[in-house]
Structure 1
Amino acid sequence: MALSALETNLTKHVRALLEQHPIDSLKKFTFTISLLSCLCAGSVLLFPLFTPVLHNEFGYTQFEINIVGSFTSLGMYLFLPVLGYLADCHGPAILSVIAVLFFAPGYTVASLVITNNWNYWILAASFCVIGCATSAFYFACLLSCAKIYPKNKGLTISAPVTCYGLSSLIGAQLLKCNFLKSANGELDLFITFRFFSVLYLFLGIFNFVSSCVVTIERDVLLRKSTPSTEDSPLLEGESENDDLVKNHKSKFKLFLKDISAYILLICFLFTIGPSEMYITNMGSIIQTTSPLSSISNQVSIHAVFSTIARLSLGGLSDFLVNKYSLSRIWLLLIIMILGAITQVIISTSLFIGEDFYIISALSGFVYGGLFTIFPTIVLSIWGAELFGSAYGFYMLSPAIGSSSFGMLYGVIYDAGCTTLESALTTCISPVFWITAISYSFSSVLLVIAWRCLWSKRQDV
């Protein structure tokens, strides 16, 4: 298929510089830059470190904090179907451009909200823009890796996903630096947001350059498959660009008619939603159940075990499929069951106080596992050509799920919880009983789809 006119014009100057180098070297360059970008992409995952400052210094209620968190999730996930579709039709470079245009203004407005004490709805809107920029930035890296090395599905997914998980660990330690602190020793959100706005401006430019390699490789493959003849047109016309879009539309329509796609969507909604809710409200959960615990340390523990899951499960899934023909669904099912157990542990206050690190570790492993195995399964079932649109479609789940479960948590917390309360069971345990049920329901749906619809597929 021909390159689209937008992709051709957007990347032609960078491609002219990069095409002087061997394609294998360019692939390694892209893979390296993508992973380094992912290591810096997770600033929104640091939201639990922002919430105590918003609550204590600016008087935000837990419901208002969840409004901001929900808008962040909506920005991150609601636009991903469009971002994925754009990337499939026009290459991941278009996503890098969107990230550059959205990141700096988003964090700049957020810093102005803090310094001028504007309405929290403006902060929510700015974090929605930041969330969209984060997804565009991260998705550009993920798609670049998946498209340049499509044969090793598990590793090409787990590597950028792992680095993205590590970014919150790195960020949590970065926010301990004195230059980001106020005079009273607390995190200065104005300086922090300004720092991120400058950081992502430069990272976005580097990411755009690396994502152009995907366009170069597609162009090289196109030239090899369609050699020039006397009858060939000298310039690619609009008809070829139309064929590219029409071909993608026809495949995407077939995807939307697949009932198993919607079953997997529901499974994702009822598992990743509770996980996102936990991350958004980690600060208040820790202050309620384990007030002596360091929030930044618990965020780091969560990030470490999320990274362990992302790093290990991708390669493990490839090994089990190739060596033993064991389905990836087994891994996803185990992660879901572990998630349900974690929700029960939280709701019964089994590990609180000094033992809260166990909850952080389990929650982190489940979160990282879900974001590793789900895209790997999507890539296996619907292929690399449709991966951007298909996985973007599934990102509707965390957009809806995190907002719904987050609002539920905020209402229950504001109605009956204080930071001095030690009995979590009498405070917010109903939320985690509901999330335990949602994990269990998703597990049942997954088994039904697996046994009834995917049983004949060997690479799932």
Structure 2
Amino acid sequence: MSSTRTVLICFAIGLNAFCAGGMLTFPIMSPSLAAHNKLSQPQLTTIVLSGMMSQYPIAPFVGYLVDRKGPAICSLIAAFLFVFGFGGFAVEVNNTAIEKASLATFYRLTFYFLLAGLGTVFSYCSSLFSASKLFPSHIGLASGASMALFGLSPFFLSVLATNYFTDPITGLLNVSRYMTFLAFLTAAVYTFSALVLRSAPGAADLTVDIRATEGVGPGESTPLLASDSPSLNPPKIEHTTSEILKTGDFWLLAVFCLLTLGVSEMIISNIGGISMSLPHSLPHLMTGPTTRKSSIAFQVNLISIANTGARILVGILADCISPAATYLPTGVLAFPKKPAISRFVFLFGSAIVLLVTFIWMEVGVQSQGNLWALSIGTGLSYSTVFTVLPALISSLWGINNIGRNFGIMMYAPFTGTPLFSYMYALISASHKEEGETICRGRPCWQLTFYLAIVASCISLFNSIILWRRWRGKI
């Protein structure tokens, strides 16, 4: 592949990831939707969940599409989904500023955000697996860089929203104008990317690259796992879905992802409500709408910055101290150099960070000024899991079907995200005072974080088992 072609593909991958985070800026929209459209906390949770959850059921299909047809078609599909999702949302909000809550408006907004969520998974998989297959020997850095740009996307978009689409008097976002902007932006970006990514490497190119490594010396690719009689019974380099589902490693990893990613996405989706439930650090600013709005945007930015930094650093660090293993055509699981530490250590660290963060929520958070630890801790843990997950999945079950296998694993957060999100929404609604649209006070989320502590302990236990099982191997 020529250097010009590689640079152009990298630019398209980066642009894809950088503009894919519109759905994750929902927390800065929620105060406006509550004020102008009279939506309750459970309704706001349902809308954002429709976007978050719609990604996961089709993730195996999208991964398969990238594996077999390439990323260009996924980018084009994302363009259509974003235009109809963001555009429809903008029209609906603009036409329904009301005095009473409308179920019809709620249902339509939920549907439009669902389309935006589908667009997100098409764009995310297009950039992630294009990067992974373009640089298979540096999969940690490649996936980490594309994920970092995806993590930076909400920060970039929230800054634009705050500076150009927010009423300076009320401090509320003009959701209709902002969503219209997102519709035009994503239409242009993903149409352009679809044209460029037609030349991105596909499954055939990857097979050639992997076979080219056969016969390399021990200094370049050290065998990791091989059968006792390779010529008679070589390890499988292709695994069917049923074979993967029968392994204990899959279920340990799936439960870890269900709990860790589920609770993290609950926080990311509802950081606006959590922030508004607490008083501002300065009493004389407690009732200022602009201050409350800027506090929510600040938390969104902290999550985004932590996401971005962790994805870059973890991707580079993982490639240096724990290079990803790959199956050679002979059936030998090999990597460029012997790992200094297992990649499962990163999952262990992620669980520790969440556990400490949630304990802090219970004992140390009394005002919005204390929430920085929750935003940073969630961003760090969430991004670390997603950064190392592609390499872990490719090492366990091969890279040829990484898109499909990654998509199967995404059913875990598909289960965990609504579980924790509705738990938060119902607990919050049960403590809301009559006449209020937003719950106020620590009781709004205190029980939720007690349960999140238990979930983090289970995740920690699972990561230790996986670490011990694959120590010195992956």
Cα distance change on mapping 1:390 and 1:353 into 2, 3 Å: same
- Displacement of 1:206 in angstroms is 1.7
- Displacement of 1:160 in angstroms is 0.3
- Name the % identity: 25
Which deviates further from its counterpart, 62-71 or 177-186?
A: 177-186
CA distance in 1 between partners of 2:164 and 2:55 (Å) = 29
Counterpart residue type for residue 313 of structure 1: V
- Displacement of 1:443 in angstroms is 1.5
- 1:98 is aligned to 2:115: no
- Deviations for 1:331-351, whole angstroms, at most 9, x for unmatched residues? 210111111111121133446
* Residue of structure 2 in register with 1:312 after alignment: 313
CA distance in 2 between partners of 1:338 and 1:179 (Å) = 35
Q: Structure 1 regions of 5+ residues with no counterpart?
A: 1-21, 227-246
* Residue of structure 1 in register with 2:47 after alignment: 68
* Residue of structure 2 in register with 1:381 after alignment: 396
CA distance in 1 between partners of 2:243 and 2:453 (Å) = 33
- 1:274 is aligned to 2:263: yes
Which deviates further from its counterpart, 39-48 or 293-302?
A: 293-302
- 1:119 is aligned to 2:134: no
* Residue of structure 1 in register with 2:164 after alignment: 178
* Residue of structure 1 in register with 2:462 after alignment: 445
Listed as ranges, the matches of 1:164-175 within 5 Å are 164-175=150-161
* Residue of structure 1 in register with 2:66 after alignment: 87
Q: Is the 8 A contact 2:63 2:407 kept in 1?
A: yes
Listed as ranges, the matches of 1:322-337 within 5 Å are 322=337, 325-337=340-352
Q: Which secondary structure state, in structure 2, belongs to the residue aligned with residue 289 of structure 1?
A: coil
- Displacement of 1:249 in angstroms is 8.5
Q: Is the 8 A contact 2:155 2:304 kept in 1?
A: yes
- Displacement of 1:265 in angstroms is 1.1
* Residue of structure 1 in register with 2:248 after alignment: 259
Which deviates further from its counterpart, 318-327 or 83-92?
A: 318-327
Q: Is the 8 A contact 1:274 1:435 kept in 2?
A: yes
- Displacement of 1:356 in angstroms is 2.3
- Displacement of 1:180 in angstroms is 5.8
Cα distance change on mapping 1:190 and 1:182 into 2, 3 Å: farther
More helix per residue:
1
CA distance in 2 between partners of 1:47 and 1:148 (Å) = 32
- Deviations for 1:120-158, whole angstroms, at most 9, x for unmatched residues? 111111111110111101110111111111000210110
Q: Structure 2 regions of 5+ residues with no counterpart?
A: 97-103, 213-235, 281-285, 287-291, 323-336
* Residue of structure 2 in register with 1:415 after alignment: 430
* Residue of structure 2 in register with 1:397 after alignment: 412
Q: Is the 8 A contact 1:270 1:439 kept in 2?
A: yes
- Displacement of 1:423 in angstroms is 4.2
- Displacement of 1:408 in angstroms is 0.7
Listed as ranges, the matches of 1:217-256 within 5 Å are 218=204, 251-256=240-245
- 1:157 is aligned to 2:151: no
- Deviations for 1:371-402, whole angstroms, at most 9, x for unmatched residues? 21223322332232111011111111222211
* Residue of structure 1 in register with 2:120 after alignment: 134
CA distance in 2 between partners of 1:152 and 1:33 (Å) = 19
- 1:200 is aligned to 2:217: no
Cα distance change on mapping 1:304 and 1:456 into 2, 3 Å: closer
Q: Is the 8 A contact 2:237 2:397 kept in 1?
A: no
- Displacement of 1:269 in angstroms is 0.4
Cα distance change on mapping 1:144 and 1:347 into 2, 3 Å: same
- Displacement of 1:215 in angstroms is 4.4
Q: Is the 8 A contact 2:346 2:385 kept in 1?
A: no
- Deviations for 1:69-99, whole angstroms, at most 9, x for unmatched residues? 1111111222111111221122222211221
* Residue of structure 1 in register with 2:372 after alignment: 357
CA distance in 1 between partners of 2:393 and 2:366 (Å) = 35
Counting matched residue pairs gives 415
* Residue of structure 2 in register with 1:3 after alignment: none
CA distance in 2 between partners of 1:29 and 1:36 (Å) = 10
Q: Is the 8 A contact 1:248 1:386 kept in 2?
A: no
- Deviations for 1:273-298, whole angstroms, at most 9, x for unmatched residues? 11100011111111112445511112
Which deviates further from its counterpart, 260-269 or 170-179?
A: 170-179
Cα distance change on mapping 1:137 and 1:435 into 2, 3 Å: same
Q: Is the 8 A contact 1:96 1:140 kept in 2?
A: yes
Moved over 6 A (4+): 220-226, 419-422
CA distance in 1 between partners of 2:126 and 2:448 (Å) = 35
Q: Which secondary structure state, in structure 2, belongs to the residue aligned with residue 385 of structure 1?
A: coil
- 1:146 is aligned to 2:125: no
